[in-house]
Structure 1
Amino acid sequence: MDNKILGYLRENDKVGVRNHVLIIPVDDISNSAAVAVENIIQGTLAIPHHYGRLQFGKDLDLFFNTMIGTGRNPNVAAAIVVGIEPNWTNKIAEGIAETGKPVEAFYIEKNGELKTIEKMARSAAKLVEYATNLKKELVDFSELTISLKCGESDTTSGLASNRVVGRFVENFLQENGTVLFGETTELTGAEHIIAERFKKEEERDKFLKIFNDYQELIKSQGVDLLGSQPTQGNIEGGLSTIEEKALGNIQKIGNAKIDSALDYGEFPVGKGLHFMNTSSAAAEAVTLFAAAGAVIHLFPTGQGNIIGNPVIPVLKITANPKTANFMSEHIDLNVSGLLKLNGSLNDHAENLWNKIIETANGKLVRAEILKHREFVLTKLYPSA
């Protein structure tokens, strides 16, 4: 298997596989300025969202971590941050600038939107020139951080597509790679298996606290998650309980041991396999993984899911032959042959390895081709 890729070696020695000039609105009322610059300047990418006003406490901390982390992602060559006022705008810009990449900040107050757009566009043009002059370098595949999340799982997920991902993860970790996984509620019924996989007791305890806090939150609302967990799509696909779903879900990490437990959007320290506290909602989870440094996301799906992300390629794998047929424009790798014993688990994992190498070297995944750019922030509680 190929262990080298052509990637972008960033100023902080992280390796990216895309080369975005990102336009980051700090708040919802700055979205229009960010989108305007994207429309004017070729090679820029805006990430509009609905938050950034009157958040507080842990929710505000998570907001800053996500926005800064997104700008710090190795797939980003340079960034422009725009906000209604200077304080929060500068906080995000300065956090991104710590990586050494070029960052500019602009404020709409006391300037007006039209003048701000003009200033941003002039700056963006120069940053696009800078980014498009960067050269790819030959680097080890293991320098990448790859994240995992499945969606619209069915019986084929745990039997095949998740297992193929799991075998890839085992092989990638043997090469000293870095992998992030999460979906806290979707571990329900298999949390004891995950807990046993942690290498260090303190990280196991951190994971169990994260998991139990989530369970207590659900109980405090007096609700039954059936229909949300498993989803209606999961149930249609034959997964009748959360425990069934969880046991299929954890196949994505194979038999690998876990190095650490991370809270929302937290950066992993060191290589290896890291659990991150995330929602099981696809767009929210992928956004958090990107903010924590993932540069490619692996997304096994059973019934079919069309999620993408603006910053990182989301590579779709399915073992459901109907999904591979009827939703072919969304599927990057069909592993349904494994269910018919056409090829071994290792054969299909090698095919996935090669597909990821192609993606890392610049081949667009289906979600990128179809312009799926779902950037969705995780919100912990209502704003003030």
Structure 2
Amino acid sequence: MQNKIIKVNSSDNVAVALVNLKAGEIVYFEGENITILSDTKSKHKIALQQFDSGDRIIMYSVLVGSANGVIKKGDVLTTENVKHQSEKVFGKTASFSWTAPNVDKWKERTFMGYHREDGQVGTENVWLFFPLVFCENRNIETLKEIFEKELLKQQQSPHQMLLRSLVNNGGLDTTVAETSTKVFNNIDVKFITHPGGCGGIRQDSESLARLLAGYVNNPNVAGATVLSLGCQNLQINIFKDALKAINPDLKKPVLIFEQQQMGTVDNMLSVIIKDSFEAIKKANNIERKPAPLSKLKVGLECGGSDGFSGISANPTLGAVSDLLVALKGTAVLAEFPELCGVEQELVNRCVDDKDGEKFLTLMKAYEKSVIDAGSGFDMNPSPGNIKDGLITDAMKSAGAAKKGGTSPVVSVLDYGEYITEPGLNLLCTPGNDVESTTALVGSGVNMVLFTTGLGTPTGNPIAPIIKVSSNTELAERMPDIIDIETGAVIRGEKSIEEMAEEMLEFMVEVASGNIQTKAKLLNQNDFIPWKRGVSL
């Protein structure tokens, strides 16, 4: 018989409902009967003791809140009877040692990737078009329409065909349906636009320059076409300096065009199309070759989390992260607002004390900026999070941090900094799904593992986003966005370690181009820079 509630850590004083529970129902747990006092939906938390006002609530063995009044044993925790609270951290308090998992079966495994001259290996081969300033967004969109129609030969969507049939009074006309055969087989062409590059403060443009430079240097990119107006804050020289700072000896072709120096739009577009086509044709000659798994650089992300995310999907990512680190690969844990409450553990795991200090400095500065704007990290859980049992930021953070596994932290990166060290890295980003994913890819990851309990279609223009469901119900309800699901962990059918092995196999297939992610099939290409103001 399936357990009805589960305690994540032996020191916890709350449990998670695995199924819907009715008021008055008696649940046998840890040698005693617990009477459920209120109707409780699955994924929500049950008090395993009576809490008086101010009492500490422990989950994942860390402080995740305090009682906002009396909570009786067997009652459900809510936003009314619990308030956010987390431990204060002042520095490293303990030494750290790590026993790596056994990876003998993976040591000789390879994936088929695109090798770059700087030693990085891509899981994709993309020619990227982007503007330095929003004034060029329209020209990017024009180029997108031209290149996608002629190079990618994109077939019209069934929704477009539906609208055509409605326009034709119900007569379905399929005579203009196009072939989906691509002109080039080894190159994708992608386009990004953004609202930045001018206005705001100069630091915003400099930050955007570093992000865009990271996209060019990302191993998934073969080369880029860059559009500039000419008078904007993000000048061409600022972008070039950012690119040089990341990779002083960049060998990739980067074509830059400035509209105010080129005359008419028609003339500029004609030159861009001719030059870009020749460069894309050359980039198509790059073919996949075997690469060790140590060349994988994986971003760890969660969005639309639910009460099971921290029990199934996120710990599975943590186990994958540990496997990857043991193989000399790279994992990157981001979303700093969702590390609130687990800072002490992460500081203690930092190999270099300076990284621990940098992590706390970034966290404190971020939290201060949020408070100065009249908000706080306690406002981070979304309505969807709360509805599915994540009622405090510390509770959400404790589960989110499980994505980082148990390995040492080798480096702490600020937003826009590029990965240089294999192993587990921390990257300062917002918790916002797309802003964080955008930043991870800009820091050099060549694929992203993205957990969700509620469902989100998030994708990226240049990196595969593997969507991992925390529960089977979601995977069955939204099969068009979920790549792999971890519901078997909740049901007790698979261990975290077994699920991690299955996930790593899937990652190798995606990295080799044998499986396309659902986000790619949906052509979901999200890109949102962080303006470094307040964004949770």
Runs of 5+ unmatched residues, structure 1: none
3-state SS of paired residue (2:490): helix
Whichever residue aligns with residue 138 of structure 2, its letter is S
User: Displacement, 1:91?
Assistant: 4.2
Q: 1:214 aligns with which of 366, 374, 380?
A: 366
Change in Cα spacing, 1:315 to 1:147, as seen in structure 2 (3 Å) is same
Q: Could you tell me which residue of structure 2 aligns to residue 287 of structure 1?
A: 438
TM-score, normalised to structure 1's length?
0.95
Q: 1:12 aligns with which of 93, 97, 118?
A: 118
Change in Cα spacing, 1:36 to 1:93, as seen in structure 2 (3 Å) is farther
3-state SS of paired residue (1:346): helix
User: Displacement, 1:33?
Assistant: 1.4
Residues 262-281 of structure 1, C-alpha deviation per residue, up to 9 Å, x if partnerless? Answer: 10020122211110110111
Q: Could you tell me which residue of structure 1 aligns to residue 199 of structure 2?
A: 54
Q: Could you tell me which residue of structure 2 aligns to residue 296 of structure 1?
A: 447
Q: 2:235 aligns with which of 88, 96, 99?
A: 88
2:309 is equivalent to residue 162 of structure 1: no
Q: 1:316 aligns with which of 467, 486, 489?
A: 467
2:224 is equivalent to residue 79 of structure 1: yes
Distance, in Å, in 1 between the alignment partners of 2:396 and 2:306 is: 8
Whichever residue aligns with residue 39 of structure 1, its letter is E
Q: 1:1-384, aligned counterparts within 5 Å?
A: 1-2=105-106, 3-41=109-147, 42=151, 43-85=188-230, 88-92=235-239, 95=243, 98-110=249-261, 111-224=263-376, 228-362=379-513, 363-381=515-533
3-state SS of paired residue (1:158): coil
Q: Could you tell me which residue of structure 1 aligns to residue 17 of structure 2?
A: none
Kept in 1: contact 2:306–2:385 (CA 8 A): yes
3-state SS of paired residue (1:8): strand
Distance, in Å, in 1 between the alignment partners of 2:432 and 2:395 is: 18
> How many equivalent residue pairs?
381
Kept in 1: contact 2:206–2:238 (CA 8 A): no
Distance, in Å, in 2 between the alignment partners of 1:284 and 1:231 is: 15
User: Displacement, 1:224?
Assistant: 4.8
3-state SS of paired residue (2:363): helix
Aligned CA RMSD, in angstroms, stands at 1.8
3-state SS of paired residue (2:509): helix
User: Displacement, 1:208?
Assistant: 0.3
Change in Cα spacing, 1:281 to 1:318, as seen in structure 2 (3 Å) is same
| More relative contact order, 1 or 2 (CA 8 Å, 6+ apart) | 1
Distance, in Å, in 2 between the alignment partners of 1:75 and 1:199 is: 29
Whichever residue aligns with residue 197 of structure 2, its letter is G
Residues 218-275 of structure 1, C-alpha deviation per residue, up to 9 Å, x if partnerless? Answer: 222232555x411111101111111111110111011111011110020122211110
Change in Cα spacing, 1:295 to 1:369, as seen in structure 2 (3 Å) is same
Change in Cα spacing, 1:28 to 1:106, as seen in structure 2 (3 Å) is same
Distance, in Å, in 2 between the alignment partners of 1:268 and 1:171 is: 19
User: Displacement, 1:188?
Assistant: 1.3
Distance, in Å, in 2 between the alignment partners of 1:370 and 1:90 is: 36
Aligned-residue identity in percent? 27
Kept in 1: contact 2:196–2:205 (CA 8 A): no
Kept in 2: contact 1:93–1:103 (CA 8 A): no
Distance, in Å, in 2 between the alignment partners of 1:164 and 1:67 is: 31
Distance, in Å, in 2 between the alignment partners of 1:178 and 1:19 is: 20
User: Displacement, 1:161?
Assistant: 0.4
User: Displacement, 1:47?
Assistant: 0.6
User: Displacement, 1:167?
Assistant: 0.5
Whichever residue aligns with residue 164 of structure 1, its letter is T
3-state SS of paired residue (1:128): helix
Whichever residue aligns with residue 27 of structure 1, its letter is V
Kept in 2: contact 1:284–1:375 (CA 8 A): yes
Distance, in Å, in 2 between the alignment partners of 1:109 and 1:367 is: 37
User: Displacement, 1:381?
Assistant: 4.3
Kept in 2: contact 1:81–1:92 (CA 8 A): no
Residues 357-378 of structure 1, C-alpha deviation per residue, up to 9 Å, x if partnerless? Answer: 0110012100010011011111
Whichever residue aligns with residue 8 of structure 1, its letter is Y
User: Displacement, 1:153?
Assistant: 1.0
Which of 109-118 and 148-157 deviates more? Answer: 109-118
3-state SS of paired residue (2:310): helix
Kept in 1: contact 2:338–2:401 (CA 8 A): no
Runs of 4+ that moved beyond 4 A: none
Residues 80-111 of structure 1, C-alpha deviation per residue, up to 9 Å, x if partnerless? Answer: 11110188235435727842011111111142
Distance, in Å, in 1 between the alignment partners of 2:533 and 2:433 is: 19
Distance, in Å, in 1 between the alignment partners of 2:138 and 2:279 is: 20
Runs of 5+ unmatched residues, structure 2: 1-104, 152-187
Distance, in Å, in 1 between the alignment partners of 2:237 and 2:268 is: 15
Whichever residue aligns with residue 192 of structure 1, its letter is Q
Whichever residue aligns with residue 440 of structure 2, its letter is F
Which of 35-44 and 210-219 deviates more? Answer: 35-44
Kept in 1: contact 2:337–2:377 (CA 8 A): no
Bigger CA radius of gyration? 2
Whichever residue aligns with residue 116 of structure 2, its letter is R
Change in Cα spacing, 1:188 to 1:225, as seen in structure 2 (3 Å) is closer
Distance, in Å, in 2 between the alignment partners of 1:229 and 1:322 is: 25
Kept in 1: contact 2:469–2:487 (CA 8 A): yes
User: Displacement, 1:117?
Assistant: 1.0
